[in-house]
């Protein structure tokens, strides 16, 4: 009898071989489906390529995503720019850097109409002075400073009213080798608004005084003094703070002029009395970033008014959304604050429990609201070695840790769920934990994680699991072998699957046939590769981007419908 069927099968194919024409070899040597360019663009805008992945260096990954962006611009520039703007404005990404870089590429497109559309979106994506400096740094890699670019940068300044412009000029003074003076000398921005014009002259000169300039072989040029009386009061407060040498006077100036900490001289920043004044009206993101500093100087301490104020603000969902505080930023803040020491430098502090609790709850509040699907849900976490190598968006959180935290958003919503972790024993680490009840499966285990657990405890549980190879078919095989009734498999992975003797989409179809349940598969991509284990031709499979703030809602809607 011939044994041909043992060599060729459409129902079970080793992951090291292509099972479908739509698949391509992934970076680990296995075969996965390939995202279309729009899906790849979404992943990159949210997750970025900073730090690269386990298999791909940052330079190579960035170049690949730049080619994807160029293809999107060539195919439909308006859709591409609209996606960049929407991702940035909705706060879906932990960092704005990919959107800024993408807009800079669009602003250098060969088609003048595309360049105009991109430059018109500049103030929508670059909302702060720091963003504008990043754009200037990026755009020089693609084009020179032509008239249209200079006009767009000038409009960024002149489109703001005097109060908002003053805040940008005083708070965000320089970044990446660029300053407002540099940009304004390129843009030659002018307006009929006397206050705005005065601010622009002040930013270029960094002084209110008359300025005389004599160029070689030319007559002396006199630039008149800036009339300080037409400028917003913030500039007066900034100027006074720069020469301040007394901490109590600095605190008084902060309250009188509503100064931010960036507007103060560095000599005033080690004092608790100054930070107490700053905290009164401190923006949300600044407050989160400086929790360790304020705790180290005992402004934030147990039962203090400052600790109560910080906690109240963190639990204010409206304030969180308005400030575009991303869940990943809160997760990083929680891990850092809980550790009692900064990631850089020698700063240490004793964490305040009330603040830790507030950061924990704020993480969940920062996602979009979710209506539970009411389905039996398996949350499957890829804990293979490649998920614990690099970081997400250049932030000190690995995909392994981030996936556990994100899974808890669904666990807090769905009444019927289970959590499992998986990694194959086919590589270093030999994970032989968690065999199925039948004893045949290796490298997958149900995790005793509940929504009542603190987020940092969940993260620690996952962090201590051993490493292994990637086999994304394990969740479906585990459920089938153990007769677990699942409506929706949610797999958090980098999609670099390569080990198993059956592809994940084949394992799902086998599960459907064996159980009679029309189970769905949601793949949560945790890195910016262009691979996915979800079959794009199967309407019961969905690919979403990890740490997109809308992802849990989209997942619940897909499972429910």
pLDDT band at 440 (very low <50, low <70, confident <90, very high): very low
Question: Which whole number is the average pLDDT over 256-279?
Answer: 97
pLDDT at 436: 39
446, containing H or E segment: strand 444-446
Report whether 111 contacts 80 (CB < 8 A): no
* DSSP assignments along 186-236, one per residue: HH----S-HHHHHHHHHHHHTSSS-EEEE-TTS-EEEEPPP-GGGS-HHHH
Distance of CA 283 to the CA centre of its chain: 19
> Is residue 223's pLDDT more than 60?
no
Among 94-108, 219-233, 455-469, which stretch is predicted with the lowest mean pLDDT? 219-233
Distance CA 382, CA 497 (A): 10
381, containing H or E segment: strand 377-382
pLDDT band at 343 (very low <50, low <70, confident <90, very high): confident
> Is residue 214's pLDDT more than 70?
no
pLDDT at 206: 60
Q: Give residue limits of the domains in the chain.
A: 35-44+62-209, 232-281, 283-325+327-365, 377-560
CA distances from residue 445 to 355, 380, 423, 487, 503 in whole angstroms, order as listed:
33, 9, 9, 19, 19
Question: Which whole number is the average pLDDT over 383-396?
Answer: 85
Q: Which two tokens stand for residue 553?
A: 């809602």
pLDDT at 466: 76
pLDDT at 2: 55
> Is residue 332's pLDDT more than 70?
yes
pLDDT band at 437 (very low <50, low <70, confident <90, very high): very low
Q: Which two tokens stand for residue 291?
A: 């929790």
pLDDT at 217: 58
pLDDT band at 230 (very low <50, low <70, confident <90, very high): confident
Architecture (CATH level 2) of domain 377-560: 3-Layer(aba) Sandwich (3.40)
pLDDT at 439: 37
490, containing H or E segment: strand 488-493
> Is residue 234's pLDDT more than 60?
yes
User: Mean pLDDT, the chain, as a whole number?
Assistant: 90
Among 2-16, 243-257, 380-394, 409-423, which stretch is predicted with the lowest mean pLDDT? 2-16
The whole-model pTM stands at 0.89
pLDDT band at 352 (very low <50, low <70, confident <90, very high): very high
> Is residue 55's pLDDT more than 80?
no
Distance CA 138, CA 483 (A): 54
Q: Which residues have a Cβ under 8 Å from the Cβ of 146 and sit 6 or more positions away?
A: none
pLDDT band at 272 (very low <50, low <70, confident <90, very high): very high
pLDDT band at 207 (very low <50, low <70, confident <90, very high): low
pLDDT band at 4 (very low <50, low <70, confident <90, very high): very low
pLDDT in tens, 151-203: 999 999 999 999 999 999 999 999 989 999 999 999 999 898 989 998 998 99
User: In a 10 Å sphere around its CB, with 0-12 CB exposed, 13-18 middle and 19+ buried, how is residue 5 labelled?
Assistant: exposed
DSSP type of residue 5: G
Local structure of 149: helix, strand or coil: helix
Question: Which whole number is the average pLDDT over 439-453?
Answer: 77
DSSP type of residue 268: G
> Is residue 425's pLDDT more than 80?
no
Q: Please give the share of the chain, as a percent, with pLDDT higher than 70.
A: 91
Q: Which residues have a Cβ under 8 Å from the Cβ of 397 and sit 6 or more positions away?
A: 328, 331, 332, 335, 391
């Amino acid at each position: 009898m011939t044994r041909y069927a043992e060599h060729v099968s459409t129902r079970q194919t080793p992951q090291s071989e292509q099972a479908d024409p739509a698949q391509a070899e992934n970076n680990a040597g296995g075969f996965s489906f390939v995202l279309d360019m729009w899906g790849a663009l979404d992943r990159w805008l949210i997750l970025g390529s900073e730090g690269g992945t386990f298999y791909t260096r940052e330079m190579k990954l960035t170049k690949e995503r730049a080619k994807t962006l160029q293809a999107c611009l060539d195919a439909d520039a308006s859709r591409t720019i609209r996606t960049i703007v929407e991702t940035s404005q909705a706060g879906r990404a932990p960092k704005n850097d990919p959107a800024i870089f993408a807009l800079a590429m669009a602003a250098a497109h060969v088609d003048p109409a595309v360049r105009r559309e991109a430059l018109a979106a500049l103030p929508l994506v670059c909302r702060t002075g720091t963003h504008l400096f990043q754009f200037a740094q990026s755009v020089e890699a693609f084009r020179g400073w032509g008239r249209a670019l200079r006009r767009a940068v000038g409009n960024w300044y002149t489109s703001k009213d005097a109060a908002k412009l003053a805040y940008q000029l005083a708070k965000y003074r320089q970044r990446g080798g660029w300053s407002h003076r540099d940009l304004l000398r390129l843009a030659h921005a002018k307006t009929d608004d006397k206050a705005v014009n005065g601010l622009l002259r002040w930013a270029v000169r960094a002084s209110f005084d008359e300025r005389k300039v004599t160029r070689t072989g030319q007559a002396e040029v006199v630039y008149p003094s800036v009339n300080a009386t037409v400028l917003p009061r913030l500039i007066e407060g900034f100027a006074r703070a720069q020469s301040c040498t007394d901490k109590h006077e600095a605190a008084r100036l902060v309250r009188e002029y509503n100064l931010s900490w960036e507007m103060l001289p560095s000599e005033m920043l080690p004092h608790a009395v100054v930070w107490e004044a700053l905290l009164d009206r401190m923006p949300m993101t600044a407050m989160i970033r400086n929790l360790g500093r304020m705790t180290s100087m005992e402004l934030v301490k147990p039962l203090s008014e400052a600790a109560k104020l910080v906690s109240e603000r963190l639990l204010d969902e409206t304030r969180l959304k308005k400030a575009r505080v991303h869940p990943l930023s809160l997760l990083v803040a929680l891990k850092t604050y809980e550790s009692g020491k900064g990631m850089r430098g020698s700063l240490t502090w004793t964490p305040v429990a009330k603040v830790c609790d507030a950061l924990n709850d704020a993480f969940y509040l920062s996602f979009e609201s979710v209506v539970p699907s009411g389905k039996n849900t398996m949350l499957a976490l890829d804990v293979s070695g490649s998920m614990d190598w690099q970081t997400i968006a250049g932030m000190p959180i690995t995909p392994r840790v981030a996936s556990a935290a994100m899974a808890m958003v669904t666990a807090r919503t769905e009444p019927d769920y289970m959590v499992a972790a998986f990694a194959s024993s086919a590589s270093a680490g030999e994970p032989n934990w968690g065999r199925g009840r039948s004893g045949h499966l290796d490298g997958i285990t149900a995790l005793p994680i509940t929504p009542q657990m603190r987020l940092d405890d969940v993260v620690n549980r996952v962090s201590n699991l051993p490493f292994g190879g990637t086999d994304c078919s394990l969740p479906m095989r585990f459920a089938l072998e153990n007769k677990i009734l699942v409506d929706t498999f949610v797999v958090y992975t980098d999609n670099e699957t390569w080990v198993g003797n059956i592809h994940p989409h084949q394992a799902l179809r086998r599960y459907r046939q064996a159980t009679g349940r029309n189970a769905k598969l949601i793949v949560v991509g945790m890195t910016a590769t262009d691979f996915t284990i979800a079959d794009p031709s199967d309407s019961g499979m969905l690919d979403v981007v990890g740490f997109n703030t809308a992802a849990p809602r989209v997942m619940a809607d897909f499972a429910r419908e």
